């Protein structure tokens, strides 16, 4: 008999879970719906009421890492659907005044280091980008999309070929967190079956 690693993810009452045969998990919550497909031959997912059982076989470090990764993705999905995610960024410039505009799924960064053409950064998924002066707020329900959108903004204004002690112009992530205050966890993770 092959030993397995088993974890049970119990979702809160605010979330409903649906699992398809191809390991596609759909979670519905107060803020919307998220879908993610888990492609792996080591891990099997089964649904039991409002719980998902994650089983990894054979029991070794590779299966353990896969199970932990899948559990983390499910926790992030559930937390985003109940509380949402928010990244606060700050626009800093000392040499050339930068302007930022949000337009049709992308953010346009104008006059960065005096450049004539604007730099464009993609907004992923259902992420919202709001600009108020030098404050930029990136928010949404998918942690992957919100984090990658904020990171794209930061990377687009990375200074290359200049002394970064003098040229500190750019957009920087200042704070990360949830949109709503987290009162209770959206997910309970149990070792083994419940």
Whether CATH 3.90.930.12 fits 5-83: yes
Q: What is the mean pLDDT of the chain?
A: 91
Nearest to 30 by CA among 70, 78, 71, 85: 78
The pLDDT of residue 173 is above 90: yes
Give CA–CA dist 132/2, Å, rounded.
57
**Poorest-confidence range of 51-65, 119-133, 158-172?**
158-172
- Tell me the domain boundaries of the chain: 5-83, 85-177
Give residue-wise pLDDT tens across range 54-112: 999 888 999 999 999 999 999 999 999 999 999 999 999 887 888 999 988 899 999 88
Fold of 85-177: Outer Surface Protein A; domain 3 (3.90.930)
Q: Are 66 and 56 in contact (CB under 8 A)?
A: yes
Cα gap 93→44, rounded to integer Å: 50
Alpha helix (H) ranges present in 83-118?
A: none
**HSE on the CB side for 50, CA within 13 Å?**
14
Beta bridge partners of 58: none
Mean pLDDT lowest among 1-5, 115-119, 127-131: 1-5
85-177 shares the fold of 5-83: yes
Which pTM value belongs to this model? 0.87
């Amino acid at each position: 008999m092959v030993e397995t690693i088993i974890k049970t993810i119990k979702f809160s009452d605010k979330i409903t879970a649906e699992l398809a045969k191809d390991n596609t998990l759909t979670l519905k919550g107060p803020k919307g719906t998220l879908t993610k497909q888990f492609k792996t031959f080591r891990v099997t997912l089964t649904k039991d009421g409002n719980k998902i059982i994650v089983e990894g076989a054979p029991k070794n470090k590779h299966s353990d890492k896969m199970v932990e990764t899948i559990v983390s993705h499910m926790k992030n999905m559930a937390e985003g659907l109940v509380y949402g995610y928010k990244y606060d960024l700050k626009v800093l410039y000392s040499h050339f005044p930068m302007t930022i505009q949000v337009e049709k799924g992308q953010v346009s960064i104008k006059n960065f280091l005096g450049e004539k053409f604007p730099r464009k950064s993609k907004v992923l998924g259902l992420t919202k980008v709001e600009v108020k002066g030098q404050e930029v707020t990136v928010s949404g329900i998918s942690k992957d999309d919100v984090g990658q959108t904020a990171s794209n903004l930061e990377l687009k204004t990375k200074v290359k070929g200049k002394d970064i002690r003098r040229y500190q112009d750019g957009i920087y992530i200042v704070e990360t967190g949830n949109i709503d205050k987290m009162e209770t966890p959206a997910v309970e993770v149990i070792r083994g079956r419940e």
